[in-house]
Structure 1
Amino acid sequence: MPRCRVDKDEGEKHPGLLKLMQILSFLVVFVAGVVIGLATTSHISRYFTSQNELYSLINHFSVPNTLVEENCSGSDMCKGRECSSFHLFIHPENLTHTMSDDELFWRASMVSKKEDYYPFKRIPKVAFMFLTRGPLPMLPLWERFFSGHEKLFSIYVHALPGYELNVTSSSAFYRRQIPSQYVSWGSVSLADAERRLLANALLDYSNERFVLLSESCIPVYNFQTVYKYLINSAHSFVESYDEPTRYGRGRYSRKMLPDIKLQHWRKGSQWFEISRGLAVYIVADTRYYTLFKNFCKPACYPDEHYIPTYLNMFHGSLNSNRTVTWVDWSMGGPHPAMYEPANVTESFIESIRNNGTECLYNSETTSVCYLFARKFAPSTLETLLNLTSSVMNF
């Protein structure tokens, strides 16, 4: 008790000191609150900054500022940097990304519910997709074919990992390689590569038609003819037919039941041309593609059966059941004939363009059935270049 009384007496003797201590305590609490508030604000700012960076990472398009400004300057939709994200979303200029196939297919399968409506000026393009082991020996021929039509096409090249296409910045093929994976002939990896090309091409919303080509393919008509033929077609061009032999039905596996029955099974050329709508269906499919991946083993050749079967099952009315790429199988064997310089003449190219067969185009009969041809040896390039103006008209 004496000690408590002394403390009370001391407090009564120094009221100013107590008031000063109260003020100091208030200031300490106030400063602490300010510090905590600033720290919280900084954390929130860093959070939203990181989210913006994450969004950019998800989009996977790292384009220099100069390219962004250049792209935006030609847009009548917006001004300055504000348009960059939308422009690069609909027209990705840089094909380099780090998306896995699952991420890529998921994004590429997104479609707008506003059918036939685009909030930008859209000029339909044809996506030319080259599936190659490495070099493109016919590149000078294709560059001549594409020259002067830059707004009407896109190019995508899938080569073996590690290969880099060495072209000048003025080439139509400059920076047009997509992230690739190893491909083995006769395996499901070929079909994987086809879907990978389709998915990358679908990221550009102006691409309306998609044609698959190899390094040995050539065009047999000029660009204007090819573009008009494909853009105006009401159907896609995927060869799909029933082959009642061991090379067709014999490759079917009953393990695909009950989803895929023998009556659904179809065969066709790997070299297809399809519309945007069908391309979306193909990259979005997981159920039926998984069956092919698991049960269409060598010698089943998924690249000859998956797309022909899938379209036959669900979208047959949208397909012409023929290919627009001419190939000569008359020699027999697992591979078509390869043409050398001695074979390449004006009459030979004309025979491909007008080979006596007739086909349906938009429900009308036509003699123009093939727009491309294969297989041409690299040594035929010079001969072909000499024929472009006289026969192919480009």
Structure 2
Amino acid sequence: MMRGKGANDEFVFKDSSISLMRLLCFLILLVTGIMIGLTCSPHVDRYFYFTSPPDNFYVNYVSAAPPPSYSTSIEKAAKTVSFDYNCSSGMASCEKEDCLSMEGFKMPKNLTHKMTDNELFWRASLVPNKAEYPFERVPKVAFMFMTRGPLPFLKLWERFFKGQDVNKYSIYVHTNPGVRVNFSNYSVFYNRLIPSQDVRWGTVTLVDAERRLLGNALLDFSNERFVLLSESCIPIYNFPIIYNYLIGSTQSFLDSYDEPSRYGRGRYSRHMKPDIKLRDWRKGSQWFEIQRTLAIKIVSDTRYYTIFKRHCLPSCYPDEHYLPTFVNMFYGALNANRTVTYVDWSLGGPHPARFEAKDITKNLILSIRNNGTTCSYNQKNTSICFLFARKFHPSALDPLLNISSTLLGF
């Protein structure tokens, strides 16, 4: 019985071996047939496209290019696509205008955009690595007005800019949202409002507005100097004098000094350590004038701005301490440590003296120009220390217009 069972097993094993061999032979024949079929197929070119070296790939791609009718159909289809993104103010679309043009990149045609502050500061912080400009660059002064409402001295400023080379200046206005500021279409201030946000006195929103103005002004690659002005500021010299003074300066003009009293060091918070120490703490006027290099550094800063936003709270005023401290810590060599905007603090208190209509005389302007002080300009002493002055009441406009042509030179 056992021998008979073994014989049956042997028979089954031999039969299975023969079946396996037949299956293998069938598979070999099948694969061989498929290979022969692929070799003869007109689609064999696809195989060579993906196995040929790069040079052969380019040749085959060109030889297999679609006929002209196909390209034409693509062009027709593209014309039917609508482009919603606007290059500038929404008036011209990419369909009609080259959105990657050099003109639009080096100087935006207008100031309308939907960027957030973070997006704006990132865009404004871009610095070309190539030293030469691919266009004739005339350095400009950016006049940045931070206002709470309309500009009461608009007529005076329009006189100041009248007849001047438009390639030498640019204007930017930041005002609270909801405030209606209507500039006529023949005014140099027309379409110069930047996207703005609410500003509250004594808070970090003042610094936000300053940085927002700088960010928008930096988008124009020809802007070289940046001066911050308020609605109560006036120029005390004509445009050529101010332009040459600022463009010719090797330093920025930002007030920064150590104030040991409670109005200076007394506002420092120990929570700013270790990044900002008491010995680093500085105070100064917020009305600055700075060069492009420093402006880029300011809009690029995140670390120290965040510290001030968290810890410089009333009775600490960020607009009086953030830039003076930040610039003193890292870029002191670029700064003259003074302002070019005159303010009268002789009355004491938290606000400076205000000049009204009855105060406006030739002697007032001359006394501001020549107030008995000297300052450093390009490592030399000079008596011209102030180019602008504040705080002027709106009633002072007419008396100023009466003396502007003879005294101010515009």
TM class, shorter-chain normalised? 0.7 to 0.9
Q: 2: CA distance between counterparts of 1:167 and 1:290?
A: 36
Q: 1:156 deviation in Å?
A: 0.4
Name the counterpart of 2:380. 364
Q: 1: CA distance between counterparts of 2:326 and 2:92?
A: 43
Q: 2: CA distance between counterparts of 1:183 and 1:135?
A: 15
Q: 1: CA distance between counterparts of 2:110 and 2:407?
A: 36
Alignment of 1:144 onto 2:159:
yes
Name the counterpart of 1:119. 134
**C-alpha contact (below 8 Å) 1:239/1:272 kept by paired residues:** yes
Q: What residue identity is the alignment partner of 1:152? A: K
Q: What residue identity is the alignment partner of 2:147? A: T
Mapping of residues 123-134 of structure 1, within 5 Å:
123-134=138-149
**C-alpha contact (below 8 Å) 2:89/2:111 kept by paired residues:** no
Name the counterpart of 1:28. none
Alignment of 1:335 onto 2:351:
yes
Provide the aligned length of Structure 1 versus Structure 2.
337
Name the counterpart of 1:268. 284
Give per-residue Cα distances to partners, 1:81-111, cap 9 Å, x unaligned. 5587221111112111111101001100111
SS in 2 for 1:380: helix
Q: 1:61 deviation in Å?
A: 2.2
Name the counterpart of 1:61. 88
Name the counterpart of 1:307. 323
Moved more, 365-374 or 162-171: 162-171
Q: 1: CA distance between counterparts of 2:130 and 2:293?
A: 14
Name the counterpart of 2:395. 379
Q: 2: CA distance between counterparts of 1:88 and 1:356?
A: 47
Q: 1:62 deviation in Å?
A: 3.5
**C-alpha contact (below 8 Å) 1:126/1:152 kept by paired residues:** yes
**C-alpha contact (below 8 Å) 2:282/2:321 kept by paired residues:** yes
SS in 2 for 1:307: helix
Q: 1: CA distance between counterparts of 2:138 and 2:343?
A: 31
Name the counterpart of 1:91. 107
Q: 2: CA distance between counterparts of 1:95 and 1:65?
A: 14
SS in 2 for 1:210: strand
Mapping of residues 97-108 of structure 1, within 5 Å:
97-108=113-124
Q: 1:151 deviation in Å?
A: 1.9
**C-alpha contact (below 8 Å) 1:63/1:94 kept by paired residues:** no
SS in 1 for 2:128: coil
Give per-residue Cα distances to partners, 1:353-387, cap 9 Å, x unaligned. 11110000000000000000000000000000111
Alignment of 1:256 onto 2:283:
no
Deviating above 6 A after TM superposition, structure 1's stretches of 4 or more consecutive aligned residues are: none
Name the counterpart of 1:243. 259
Aligned CA-pair RMSD: 2.4
CA distance 1:210–1:62, shift in 2 (3 Å): same
Q: 1: CA distance between counterparts of 2:348 and 2:179?
A: 32
Greater Cα radius of gyration, structure 1 or 2? 2
SS in 1 for 2:101: helix
Name the counterpart of 2:64. none
Identity %: 62
Q: 1:247 deviation in Å?
A: 0.3
**C-alpha contact (below 8 Å) 1:95/1:178 kept by paired residues:** yes
**C-alpha contact (below 8 Å) 2:255/2:288 kept by paired residues:** yes
TM-score normalised by structure 1 residue count: 0.81
Q: 2: CA distance between counterparts of 1:290 and 1:64?
A: 37
Q: 2: CA distance between counterparts of 1:294 and 1:300?
A: 11
Q: Which structure 1 segments of 5+ residues have no match?
A: 1-37, 70-80
TM-score normalised by structure 2 residue count: 0.78
SS in 2 for 1:168: coil
Alignment of 1:345 onto 2:366:
no
Q: 1:162 deviation in Å?
A: 1.4
Q: 1:148 deviation in Å?
A: 1.3
